[in-house]
Amino acid sequence: MNALVSVIVPTYNEAENIPELLERIDATMRGRYLYEVITVDDNSPDDTVEVARKLSSRFPVKVVVRQARVGLSSAVVDGFKNATERYRAEIDADLQHPPEVIPDLIQKLEEG
């Protein structure tokens, strides 16, 4: 376990997807990489923030809630600003981006 990875996850109304996403990220990263997940939520009216906060007791999750700003691009930028690890990746919360490819991306970065 050498690489440190921040996984940025912009969210809006993703309460149903967050548990599976975090399980899959953890299953992919645990034992291979030290990592953190940063959810950046645009004040979702569903329970996205509460679900992510609750799951932070099981997974290394930071929750950023934006009250006044909205939008995917600025959420990613805010996530990168809150990231603390060497490598940074962005992944959609709707599970369209498979978390299982993150190690392949890290390997390519480490190879230069």
pLDDT in tens, 9-34: 999 999 999 999 999 999 999 988 99
CB 63 within 8 A of CB 40: no
Specify the pLDDT at position 86: 86
Range of the domain at 62: 4-111
Q: How many domains does the chain have?
A: 1
Q: Which of 41, 39, 38, 29 is nearest to 4 (CA)?
A: 29
Give me the CATH number covering residue 61. 3.90.550.10
pTM above threshold 0.85: yes
Closest CA to 48 of 17, 94, 8, 79: 17
